[in-house]
Amino acid sequence: MTRLSGVPLKFTFDGRELTGYLGDTLASALLANGIHQVATSIKYGRPRGIVAAGVEDSNALVQIDAPFPEPMLSATTVELYDGLEARGLRGRGRLATEPDPARYDAKHAHCDVLVIGAGPAGLAAARAASGRVLLVDDQPDGEAPEGVRFLSRTTAFGIYDDGFVLALERRGEPVAPERLSRQRIRRIRAKRIVIATGAHERPIVFPDNDRPGIMLAGAARTYLNRYGVLAGSRVVVFTTNDSALDAASELAGAGAEIVRIVDAREGYGVIGTDGGADGHITAAHIARLGEMQGERVECDLLLVSGGWNPAVHLFSQARGKLRYAPELGAYVPDGDLPTVSVVGAAAGEGLPETKVLWQVPAPKSEVDTRFVDQQRDATVSDVLRATGAGLRSLEHIKRYTTIGTAHDQGKTSGMLAAGITAEALGADLATQRPTTFRPPYTPVAFAALAGRHRGDLHDPVRVTTIHPWHVEHGAEFENVGQWKRPRYYPRPGETMHDAVLRECRAARNGVALMDGSTLGKIDVQGPDAGWFLDMLYTNMMSNLKVGRIRYGVMCGVDGMVLDDGTVIRVAEDRFLVTTTTGNAAKVLDWMEEWLQTEWPHLSVFATSVTEHWATIPLVGPKSREVLGRLAPGLDVSNDAFGFMTWQDAEVAGIPARVCRISFSGELAYEINVRSWHGIALWQSIVAEGATPYGTETMHVLRAEKGYPIIGQDTDGTVTPQDLGMSWVVSKKKADFLGKRSFARAENNRPDRKQLVGLLPVDPSVLLPEGSQLIESEVVPEPPVRMLGHVTSSYHSAALGRTFALALVRSGRERIGETLYVPAGDRVVPVTVTGSVLFDEEGARRDG
Amino acid sequence: MTVDAVEEPFRTQLTVRLRDGHALLGADLPEPCTFTSRNGVDVLWMGPDEYLVLAEPGRQAELETALREAGAAAVVDVSAQRVTVRLTGAHARDVLAHGCSIDLDPAVSPPGTCVQTLLVRTGIILMVREEGFTILVRQSFAGYFTTWLADASLEYQEVPWPSR
């Protein structure tokens, strides 16, 4: 026997400095250093050792402390590296509190055939496959056949529909963490999948079967052959099948003394073990099966084999059917799926026939030490308690006992639990349904799943072409969907409150501009465009004259407001529709839904042009002067360029479409240029002395005028009538979306919530948005009758006080009444008013 | 660099809708998920009746007139809607594979392929050319796109590959 040659690696375990070799796992390095015990058990604190050599190990959980904290890894799957610091873990671990410096990423892959597992069966399948063949294997080494793409250190952990497989590639510990990812999710799409994942050896349950030094026979072989580690020197082998005999002869060949082979097929079993002060096994008690007194045989390693469970996890995830194979004592695939096949040991092929022995009949004891799931400290008694409580289904017993719910997901314990349950119930396993296998097959770190989606890349941040100016000039931003929009532009020393009042005054008394480029814009073209928009909007659009603009409201088929905006008639057969920032994609989808499903005969084409245009509202009594200076070729007089009309002109030397619309009640223009000219236009307007304002000021200005924001003042249960906008609902049109719903009794209830204004009796009190409205000055005992809620609330520079908009039951009937808003520990009296609080007669819009 | 990304600014981009007809600008219409190139003009298949015409900067008016005369049911100037980026280099395909689920194997997606798809979390139009890829991305997503592209390209920088 030779140990791994090559590079020695220093590592620390439980504070002890140890040496292993390149190619070791933490588990093999520990065994080579004579360490079997890794941890103590979660419930009873019993010493626990290394049971297996792969992902199926139930015991050897460790916490990595350095180089970076990672909890709950299995020592059998941690590749050793220099400087690793780890310790055994009793159950839960410690998550890092500092950010993970390593990189994680994902990569897509496509193939005709994906072979999972590079054992003999997998290699043969890969060799036989044609087309693009991808072979993945969870071990660090291995060689692929000619023409086959091979990914080592790669564990396929989930199979999804249509040949989609997720795999985790461990790319080794970071050697260039600033450039290379440590772990990578492989997102594989395969036309065919061949599962060659092998089998996991099954333990046998007997008293004190959980001591360090009790190991699966196949694991001892792996440690010997792959890592050059002999796990013990005096060995007892307890088996139900021939495979453990190979392990025995190989260990004997490496110098171990095989002191006894206990073969259940010959009627013998292990009925208990003894341990030393450290809990490590010192002897096995051997008896005829059924007898309670046995012979004590000293040993330092007990190898166990109760047969082999095909690793059917991925096949079951793919919804492959399983059947019980009595000659194996395990579930095997019951035929292939159309595109997913199973080969080799995973299909039950080549596995040794076995006597089925789940547990050894054992003497009664006060404390049950017959462990079924060692990680969960669950015993035979726990299974019997579940069946005794009347549970029959394996799924229910799993949940009741927690067997199979640990990091190993019952890879060694699941079948034992099924067998012991069947014995207890006198049931046939062929009629029992095994528990469902779900992804992931092995634990996967959230960091790996997150990949690059961290920090700046967590979610796209959408910005306009004018954004760099906003950043440079100190704007504070708010998120509107994925957009970052300037909320206000504080000057040195200004609070948000100060800045917003200043921006509002500039818009109402001078001239101000904002970046409105995020507004949704849709080009609607075609001879039937007028008819189409008549159906989409509650008001008439087909009679709009070319050159003119109209405000419109869209409703869903339920009659609830969906979106609003302006409609520009560009030409006889062409309109430009604007939507709210948040609903741009939704409105385009809405149009396409009707065009594609209900009215495919229409000749109408909708195209998003949101980002083609940069849009800058220019607002305030002095906006006409500024526009006049910037667009000398444009007659900006009220007669030549009236409210709700548009003109094409050069503004600051840039071809522009100028619309005279207002969302503030002031004289205002909206200047649209190709987005790549946005920042040049913005700078030209600022140079004319206009004050930039953000979304907060926009909100105040529009709220003072009672203009609702769809999605803030509405919530999908609000009709145009509720908003006090019956005028926008056509009585002439034969039909439009939502029309029928307006006739519903529910839509005509007098106590519907309606949009009104609220003036706090104390003009300095700002109501929190979302506050509820009640009728009494004192909050009564619950249940409290809620009359509605505050949807918008601001300080108004123009009014010199606070105000709010609210949806209130029978709101318009309550105008003049006093209602109450519980806000924190006080109740604020408010007066209900109409929703238009400023310039009710609209005197300001023409300047 | 083994991956190069270069923006091609101010290109002419026109969305064209066509119900009947088999040719645009003197060329046969592209088949689904492909594009055709002729006289410096690319025509991209976007949907059953939708095409995107790409050309050098400044040809919007001229091409719009030609397209309308050729029977287009609708033409919309969308030149400033998306930014155009050429991605070339030995590892261009690798970089895209980090964020794009389309199979870019030349046998599956030969030059002339054109798809609308997702690159990570932004929609893109992806054109496969002999010498690399052309990617069109909405300009508001351009910052996200370039940040991601720079990050995904790090691995393919031309510096010695560290040994494991």
Residue-level pLDDT at B164: 41
Q: pTM for the complete prediction?
A: 0.93
pLDDT attached to residue A1: 60
My answer on whether B152 and B87 are in the same domain is yes
Q: Which residues of chain A are within 8 Å of residue B98 when distances are taken between CB atoms?
A: 105-108, 452
DSSP secondary structure letters along A232-289: -SEEEEEESBTHHHHHHHHHHHTT-EEEEEEEGGGTEEEEEEEE-TT--EEEEEEEET
User: Which residues on chain B are in Cβ contact (under 8 Å) with A526?
Assistant: 73-74
* Residues B71 and B134 occupy one common structural domain: no
The reply to whether residue B101 touches residue A187, judged by beta carbons under 8 angstroms, is yes
Model confidence at A378: pLDDT above 50: yes
Question: What is the pLDDT at residue B1?
Answer: 56
Find the CB nearest A457 among B10, B151, B155: B151
Q: Which residue among B77, B103, B133 closes a domain?
A: B77
Using a pLDDT cut of 70, give the percent of chain A over it.
99
Read off the pLDDT of each residue in A2-28 and give the average, rounded to a whole number.
93
Amino acid at B76: V
DSSP B48-94: TTEEEEEESTT-HHHHHHHHHHTT-SEEEE-TTTEEEEEEESTTHHH
Give the domain CATH number at B114.
3.30.1360.120
Least confident of A363-367, A787-791, B131-135: A363-367
A592: tokens are 């396409």
> What are A445-465's pLDDT values in tens digits?
999 999 999 999 999 999 999
Residues B32 and B50 in one domain: yes
**In A, what residues contact B, Cβ < 8 A?**
105-110, 132, 172, 175-176, 178-181, 187, 189, 452-453, 456-457, 459-465, 483, 518, 523, 525-526, 603, 605, 607-613, 674-676
Taking an 8 Å cut-off on Cβ atoms, the answer to whether A107 and B98 are in contact is: yes
Q: What mean pLDDT is predicted for residues A603-628?
A: 98
With a pLDDT cut of 90, the percent of chain A lying above it is 94
Cβ distance A102 to A182 under 8 Å? yes
**pLDDT higher than threshold 90 for residue B76:** yes
Contacts of A540 (CB under 8 A, 6+ apart): A534, A730, A732, A733
Contacts of B65 (CB under 8 A, 6+ apart): none
Q: Which domain holds residue B103?
A: 81-156
pLDDT at A155 over 50: yes
Q: Output the average pLDDT for chain A.
A: 96
Mean pLDDT value of segment A697-723? 96
Q: What does the alpha-carbon distance between residue A282 and residue A716 come to, in Å, rounded to a whole number?
A: 72
Question: Quick check: A391 pLDDT over 60?
Answer: yes
Whose tokens are 């140079």? That residue is: A687
Q: Do A452 and B144 touch (CB under 8 A)?
A: no
In a domain, residue B32? The reply is: yes
Apex A615 CA angle, A799 and B68, nearest 5: 145
**pLDDT tens-place string over residues A68-88:** 899 999 999 999 999 999 999
Contacting residues of A for B148, CB less than 8 Å apart: 452, 457
Could you give the residue ranges of the DSSP H alpha helices within B30-124?
A: 60-69, 92-97
Residue listed under structure tokens 């949806």: A807
| CA distance between the termini of chain B | 22
In this structure, what token pair is assigned to residue A540? 């008439």
Is the pLDDT confidence value at A518 over 80? yes
Output the pLDDT for position B22: 75
**Are residues B48 and B95 located together in one domain of the fold?**
no
Query: Residue B160 — very low, low, confident or very high, per pLDDT cuts 50/70/90?
Result: low
B100 to chain A: closest CA residue: A108
Kindly state the helix (H) or strand (E) to which residue B45 belongs, with its residue range.
Answer: strand B41-47
Q: Is the ipTM of this complex over 0.90?
A: yes
| Minimum CA–CA partner of B153 in chain A | A179
Residue at B4 is within a domain: no
Average pLDDT, stretch A750-777?
A: 96
State whether B143 and A483 contact (CB < 8 Å): no
Which tops the pLDDT comparison, A341 or A2? Answer: A341
Residues B85 and B48 in one domain: no
- Closest CA of chain A from B26, distance in Å: 23
pLDDT for B163 beyond 70: no
| B65 & B116 share domain | no
Q: Are residues B23 and B55 in the same domain?
A: yes
Which of A469, A450, A227, A194 lies closest to A340, judged by CA?
A: A194
pLDDT per residue as tens digits for the range A780-817 = 999 999 999 999 999 999 999 999 999 999 999 999 99
Q: Between A36 and A825, whose confidence is greater?
A: A36
What H or E segment, with its residue span, contains residue A365? Answer: none
Q: Are residues B96 and B113 in the same domain?
A: yes
Residue A648 has pLDDT above 80, yes or no: yes
Residue at which a domain ends, from B29, B53, B77 = B77
Q: Is the pLDDT of residue B159 over 70?
A: no
User: In this structure, is residue B141 part of a structural domain?
Assistant: yes
| Tally of domains in chain B | 2
Per-residue pLDDT band for A94 (boundaries 50, 70, 90) equals confident
Q: B163 in a domain, yes or no?
A: no
* Positive or negative torsion for Cα A714, A720, A724, A725: positive
Whichever domain contains B54, its CATH number is: 3.30.70.1520
- A108·B97 Cβ contact <8 A: yes
Best residue of A457, A458, A484, A568 to probe chain B, by most B CBs closer than 10 Å: A457
Asked whether residue B164 is assigned to any structural domain, the reply reads no
Give the closest residue to A568 by CA, choosing from A581, A552, A589, A584: A552
Which of A842, A742, A42, A95 is CA-nearest to residue A446?
A95
Q: Are residues B22 and B50 located together in one domain of the fold? A: yes
Of B77, B103, B127, the domain-final residue: B77
Q: What is the mean pLDDT of residues A214-229?
A: 97
Find the largest Cα–Cα distance for chain B: 63
- Tell me whether residue B94 is in a domain: yes
Place of tokens 């991601």: B148
**Which amino acid type is present at position A805?**
L
Residue B162 lies in a domain: no
B111 and B150: one domain? yes
Candidate from B101, B108, B144 with C-beta closest to A460: B144
> Which among A692, A700, A695 has a CA at the least distance from the CA of A473?
A692
Distance from CA of A313 to the nearest CA of B (A): 26
b (16+ CB within 10 A) / e for A135-156:
bbbbeeebebbeebebbbbbbb
Backbone angles phi, psi at A396, to 5 degrees: -70, -40
In a domain, B133, yes or no: yes
Condensed to tens digits (0 to 9), the pLDDT of residues A467-485 reads 999 999 999 999 999 999 9
Say yes or no: B87 and B134 in one domain.
yes
Q: B44 with B107, same domain? A: no
Cβ of B154 and A610 within 8 Å? no
Which residues have C-beta within 8 Å of that of residue A749, sequence separation ≥ 6? none
pLDDT band at A385 (very low <50, low <70, confident <90, very high): very high
